[in-house]
Structure 1
């Protein structure tokens, strides 16, 4: 089940998945300290702006023998958006975009999990942003599992989701004199997730 690992100390050693545990079935919570939920969008048609949400929580149920019985839910505090620039973050929190006063959370709740191959899973679920709920599918790759020094069973996943923000009513924009718009409609959401099995 484990990927081939490079020799110990090799520069590529940290890139290899470490699937050390045969059965990771159980209930898990997201380890916020070791998880990143990132976003990126094109700005002015010439560059990519990156950011992240820093306040979130979530749970997962993993079933090794019956992957379709697995599930995941994530709740993200919209006011926690952070792109490293205060004025831009204030605009993203405003009614032009996330409208955090009215809609303090974004929520993803899975409705189906399909195993594609040994380490790849397609997780379909409902994504709610503001007052709109639409189905999306995220392809997650299992990056490893291990028992950490504190006795916790950990499992890691990486995934990405491309959405059109206008599908959720986030339509604010400004046209450019040279053509195009200030902010791309298509947004990339990136997941680097570590979950810990519940006691």
Structure 2
């Protein structure tokens, strides 16, 4: 009986080790990735910008996208809209308050297949210390092997958030009644992930 128990325990340990081995980490290729956003300006145009410093880590089991655990960390001070004065204002307490809240994060909770290489990624987005659940609509490319033997995959993901939900509430009303900055912010992630052989 003791022998049977020992064999069973050894089998469980072997299965656990095998499951652990099946977990793989996909790393970001920053040279081929971007985190951008767009927001309405005076209700007449969209202003676009990006964050130039960020990290993305994706862990999967058996390379199945629906098993992915996604973590994104963005350096808030790296915001860039190509206008220095505007970027300075966006870094201030009126908007991102980067000195007090230096990072923006997203941690996935669930990944659901949506057909044809598309997925819904539900997770917690944290901006200015405020965490809210959001859903990213993601499209994942087929996995390919690059000339160096690495596996690569591309992910295009979008979501729209209301900035005031995260305490980014600065606004100015024009004489016409329109606001200078819209409330809805569209977030766009285009990332290339690499898995070394």
Task: Note the alpha carbon deviations across 1:133-183, whole angstroms, 9 max, x for none.
Answer: 000010100133211112211110111110000000000000011112000
Contact kept in structure 1, 2:50 and 2:79, CA below 8 Å = yes
1:189 paired residue among 187, 190, 195: 187
Query: Secondary structure in 1 aligned to 2:154?
Result: strand
What displacement does 1:64 show? 5.6
1:116 paired residue among 114, 134, 146: 114
C-alpha distance in structure 1 between counterparts of 2:192 and 2:63, whole Å: 21
Give the structure 2 partner of residue 94 of structure 1.
Answer: 92
Q: 5 Å matches for 1:19-168?
A: 26-63=24-61, 67-168=65-166
| TM-score (normalizing by structure 2) | 0.85
What displacement does 1:63 show? 3.7
Structure 1 stretches of 4+ moved >2 Å = 62-69
| TM-score (normalizing by structure 1) | 0.84
For structure 2, the 5+ residue unaligned runs are 1-22
For structure 1, the 5+ residue unaligned runs are 1-24
Contact kept in structure 2, 1:123 and 1:137, CA below 8 Å = yes
C-alpha distance in structure 2 between counterparts of 1:51 and 1:65, whole Å: 32
Query: Secondary structure in 1 aligned to 2:142?
Result: strand
Q: For this pair of structures, how many residues does the alignment match? A: 176
